[in-house]
Amino acid sequence: MEEQIKKLKTGTTTVGIVCKDGIVLAAEKKATLGYLVASKDDIKIVEVMPHIGMTQAGSVGDIQALVRYLKAEATLYELRENKRISVNAAASLLANIMYGGRWYPYLVQVILAGVDERGPQLFILHPDGSKLEEKKFFSTGSGSPMAFGVLELLYKDGITIEEAKQIAVKAVKAAVERDIASGGKGIDVAVIDKNGFKLLSQEEVQKILKN
């Protein structure tokens, strides 16, 4: 198990920030295969449901499988219960899936976040199936130490989505500049608010970078 967890130290930087009016997720775009750059345009933020998104760090195959499982189970839940799945329930569902494979774990670290009746929520999930709620921000991947430095410096209580987008981009940019395994063609940013999940265009991200 310990050796499998060590494999999680792969090239990625993802960031999640809790705002008073929603959630901001950000990630760089490089996918690595050992010392090979497998992709410079990998999207590491996915929409799980219209009000829930998640970031990926670790094995791409494992995260893709988890997204498929989670989307299917969340859709079945909503059809059965005739109501939208809560962010907490989706996180618990994903934690149970990961816990079920703990002896042959999914080699990922996930930020799952969204907005529902409880407001903005952000959870961190680990290969052993543990689920932790974070009230402010979190970062995963090899570039996370650099990203955390920016987040710790700039985050403040009551932050808005517009302010958080600036901080998230700065945090990922700092990681890209110092972590050799992070990079790619730009930065992805997603916003989740009362209107749902939205992945910003690269033109919108470039405007944020220029500010």
Placement of tokens 């958080």 in the chain:
164
Q: Which residue has the tokens 């409880």?
A: 118
Q: Please name the residues in contact with 113: beta carbons below 8 A apart, sequence gap of 6 or more.
A: 16, 18, 23, 25, 52, 53, 54, 87, 120, 121, 122, 123, 192
Listed in sequence order, the residues at least 6 apart from 188 whose beta carbon sits closer than 8 Å to its beta carbon are 26, 27, 28, 29, 43, 44, 45, 199, 200, 205
- The DSSP string of 87-118 is HHHHHHHHHHHHHHTTTS---EEEEEEEEETT
140 tagged catalytic? no
* 121 DSSP assignment: E
- Active-site residue identified among 12, 13, 32, 55: 12
15 in Cβ contact with 172 (< 8 Å):
yes
| Residues identified as active-site | 12
